[in-house]
Chain A
């Protein structure tokens, strides 16, 4: 059991972070906490992609050539898969954009109602 968890630690961490994030988004009443939950969820997914691309004993996928000799291994098995990293760069950009928009929303909401608690906000809005 313990070895199993240790061997797949990143995936367990992903699962835990996802659940924490989901709880934050759905269970918390404060809107900022919801946003933080969303960010945790995003990090979990980024961790998942990066962990999936990892290989034991593999190196960076960069081809080093010196005087016509290839210094780095030719066997693709010895490289870390670079594509997920690229995807995650895009995903990070997307998540920054979402966070930015959400924070801007929160600023507007707070200026209007001086409140960020969901339930009391709903009450104020209904009046």
Chain B
């Protein structure tokens, strides 16, 4: 059954054929995961035993509502992003397109594998597959991206190794690596020291991958200096899958309530999340480079997901999962729009955005939609996950959560309106105040483009995915009740 999901994952590993294969692969897996979602909705959780070995012995893939839901988000966002950044990829990796798309495929394979697996150690392997692909893609940026990529590699490996060590502790206390079985066996002895140690290691490890606040250091540089085709792809989906793995730990690895009572992991996540929301937003406000601003805003949004998980109530988890979807779509919109603007004019500095709204109406229109969703204006998606987070906060009388989530909307508005203001209200600035970009980072062709000639709407195949994503933020917002009632609530129960 799940072969439908696995098969495209495996066939996508072909290297040389480039864009077409990549697109077909991701598109197919998006369709497959959508199909899987409907299948799960109809008949319940899917199980697939790899190699035909029954679960406790062999590796098992489990697709339930939540994993199908996250898989659909990841693959469909990736599909749109790959279409939209094809021109960037051509420009940035022209001589090694084959390996570029190979890495992209590996990345998505790893992420989908992490989502679908039901085995703790297998999750580690997929985690490393996707991370390795991610490091290499970031490294393609050259210059500062190389240092950022190396730092990400070191920190990311620490995360992965901590996770593996934690799994080791769990394995030696339970004798199994299967998630469901671990949960059964752990209930018997919830106070054992080694299990606590294991849980702590796992959460530090996944926290690094997820970029929760004290562990976020790799993220801003990596997102800022990575090639545009790469950060547009990585930013929306990669940390989300880390967050998904964290939720998976809460739901199906550790016994119910274990992470609240035996070890205050949930509280730690809550506190760090609250700090992260504020820190990310404040840091985003002071950034001059729009990519860096969006990177810090990612940190603050991830922190919101962490808060949802940390509350530990079903409503909190709904908020977290919904925000995984929302943030993936919103961030993809914003990064796509940014990439389009940079593509046609070379602008990356916030102050250079003035007047661009009139020159690039569709791109900036989608940017506006994404920004409104981020801030949490009602019909767009961001509002609803924040709404659920606030509700969950009220429900468990965590008033700080309510205050911080509301404040974060305000802060988000501050840093995003800076851009909207200069894009729409200021006159077109024909003499950019800063150099377009770091010269080494750009090819020769980029330098030849004059500013006036360039500040035009981006090519159609970049605009369409951007607009689609922008519209999706609103449509998904309207449909959110359907998603929550039919997918998330039964998925968590």
Contact = CB atoms under 8 A, between A and B. Distances in A.
Interface stretch (B158-166, B253-261, B312-320, B484-492): B158-166
B54 to A, nearest CB: 15
Contact of A48 (B143, B146, B147, B165): B165
Contacts of B125: 90, 94
Interface in A81-119: 83-84, 87, 90-91, 94, 97-98, 101-102, 105-106, 108-109, 112, 118
Interface stretch (A1-9, A38-46, A58-66): A38-46
A42 B165 CA distance: 10
A109 B145 CA distance: 10
Contacts of B149: 105
Nearest to B155: A25
The dominant DSSP class at the B interface is: helix
Contacts of B150: 31, 102, 105-106, 109
Contact of A49 (B139, B144, B168): B168
B168 A105 contact: no
B139 A108 contact: yes
A109 B153 CA distance: 14
Contacts of B136: 101
Contact of A101 (B144, B153, B165): B153
Interface in B86-131: 121, 124-125, 128
Interface size class of B (residues with CB under 8 A): 20 to 34
Pick from B142, B144, B153 the residue with the most CB of A within 10 Å: B153
B128 A105 contact: no
Contact of B171 (A25, A38, A84): A84
A83 B149 CA distance: 33
Contacts of A105: 135, 139, 146, 149-150, 153
Contacts of A45: 161, 164-165, 168
A19 interface: no
A122 interface: yes
Given A49-B168, A52-B168, A38 B139 contact: no
Contact of B147 (A35, A91, A97, A125): A125
A78 interface: no
Given A90-B121, A90-B125, A122 B146 contact: no
A101 B152 CA distance: 12
B168 A41 contact: no
A121 interface: yes
18 contacts: A18-B165, A31-B150, A41-B157, A45-B168, A48-B168, A52-B168, A84-B168, A87-B121, A98-B128, A98-B153, A101-B136, A102-B150, A105-B149, A105-B153, A108-B139, A109-B146, A109-B147, A122-B147
Given A42-B161, A83-B171, 5 more contacts: A18-B165, A35-B154, A52-B171, A94-B125, A105-B149
